Amino acid sequence: MALERKIQLAAYGLFIAALFLAPAFGDEFWLNRIAKYLVYGMLGVAIALTWGYAGILNLGQGLFFGMGAYMLAMSLKLSSPTSLAQGSDTPVPDFMLWNAEPGAPTDLCCINKGSVLWLPFQHQWFGLAMGIVLPVVIAGVLGAIIFRKRISGVFVSIITLALVLLVRLVLVDAQPITNGFNGLTDLGWLTIGGIEFDPYSRATYYLCAASLSLTLIAARLLADTRASLILQAIRDDQLRARYLGFDVPVYQTFFFVVSAAIAGYAGMLYVVVTEFASPTFMDLSFSVTMVVWAAVGGRSSLLGACIGAILINMIEAQVSETEALVEAWKAIIGLIFVLVVLFMPRGLGGLAHSLVARFQRDEQPSVSATAGAARSETA
């Protein structure tokens, strides 16, 4: 067990070191792309936390990602040059002007019904805070209702799936204040403490790398707590955990909220890196794609899910260079997914664990090997 622990630590250390060494090997354009994949990696961690540890398959993780993205994007939209140069006291997003009724005042307070909602976003800190607060509050309320009602398994997946589609429809329909299908584009840069996060700068890359590292470490520490053990017990047998006196919904809701917070944070980073927010973040296919990443990387391995997300996207980018292969790649992803679910349900992470366990058994055929195998279920 000690050996496995060391290998695990080494894997985390190596991965984080690689994150920070990457800028030595590529130009700004390449780094921007990698930064985007690191954000996907955070989503992998969020999925693994709820799916692997809590057994909750959230098919609407895109909801929290999208919320984080839109909250920050609203602030950044107001700070962009196009919004500032409308000759009014408050910045006004360009799309509101295009759609304004004749005679409407050029001011954020009353250019259309609902534009008032944008007012507090003039302060960038408000957008930043809401990017975490909103997903956390929504996830908290949703989780509390779902888990108190003892809804589990596939029904949670259906509710989250329906909810993300519902919000997406409303978002698209509220065209005057959200710019509908087009989403929020042409954003300003995030500025914190005098540092401007130009998407094509090393600063932005390091922001993403540091965020991912911290998320991984925090999630790993969280997974080592007693609460996480109880959560895994709930996943394996909910009734038994309840009879043992644990307040099951509290643990489930807590991990659900943490996962939502990670997704919201990832959404904000995504906006910083790519300079847009769009309703496609709340497409069903995007939420399921996140699950694919986690499944391939290993649903019950935080690092595995993270690497799975990054790896799949890097390969996809490579393949997509050849135009003819773009569609074929999607088919390959579908095939990989079927094969992984059928033959490798624990993904790459599970594979690594089995290898370590086998190695261990050869070294010392004793009790610790079985203990290691038992532990390899989660990590």
Site for another protein, rule CB under 8 A? 57, 145-146, 149-151, 153-155, 157-159, 161-163, 165-166, 169-170, 172-173, 284-285, 288, 291-292, 295, 324, 327-328, 330-331, 333-338, 341-342, 345
Nearer to another protein, 172 or 371 (CB): 172
289 vs 360 by CB, closer to another protein: 289
Q: How far is the CB of 71 from another protein (least distance, A)?
A: 21
Are 371 and 1 contacting, i.e. CB atoms less than 8 angstroms apart?
Answer: yes
Distance of closest approach, residue 180 Cβ to another protein, in angstroms: 10
Nearest of 265, 300, 216 to residue 14 by alpha carbon: 216
**Tokens for 117?**
């909602």
Closer to another protein by Cβ: residue 173 or 237 = 173
Smallest gap from Cβ 49 to another protein, in A, equals 16
Quick one: 97 or 344, whose CB is closer to another protein?
344
Minimum gap (Å) between residue 51 Cβ and another protein: 9
CB 357 within 8 A of CB 4: yes
The nearest distance, CB 328 to another protein, in angstroms, is: 7
Strand 195-197, strand 190-192: pairing: antiparallel
Contacts of 141 (CB under 8 A, 6+ apart): none
13 or 345, CB closer to another protein?
Answer: 345
168 with 254: CB under 8 angstroms? no
Helices assigned H by DSSP within the chain? 2-21, 28-48, 54, 61-78, 81-84, 94-99, 124-148, 154-173, 175-178, 202-223, 226-236, 238-243, 248-274, 284-297, 302-320, 325-343, 347-363, 367-375
**Smallest gap, in angstroms, from Cβ of residue 330 to another protein?**
5
Count the neighbouring beta carbons within 10 Å of the beta carbon of residue 377. 13
**Which residue, 159 or 233, is less far from another protein as judged by CB?**
159
Tokens of 230: 């109880």
Beta carbon nearer to another protein, 19 or 292 = 292
Length of the chain: 379
Please answer whether residues 303 and 49 qualify as being in contact, where contact means their C-beta atoms are separated by less than 8 angstroms.
Answer: no
Per-residue HEC secondary structure of 172-237 comes to HHCHHHHCHHHCECCCCCEEECCEEECCCCHHHHHHHHHHHHHHHHHHHHHHCCHHHHHHHHHHHC
Min separation Cβ 253 and another protein, Å:
15
Q: The tokens 């890359």 sit on which residue?
A: 205
**Min separation Cβ 167 and another protein, Å:** 9
Closest approach, Cβ 110 to another protein, in A, equals 24
Nearest to another protein of 2, 285 (CB atom): 285
Q: With respect to another protein, which residue has the nearer C-beta, 23 or 176? A: 176
Residue 109 has a CB neighbour count (10 Å cut-off) of 13
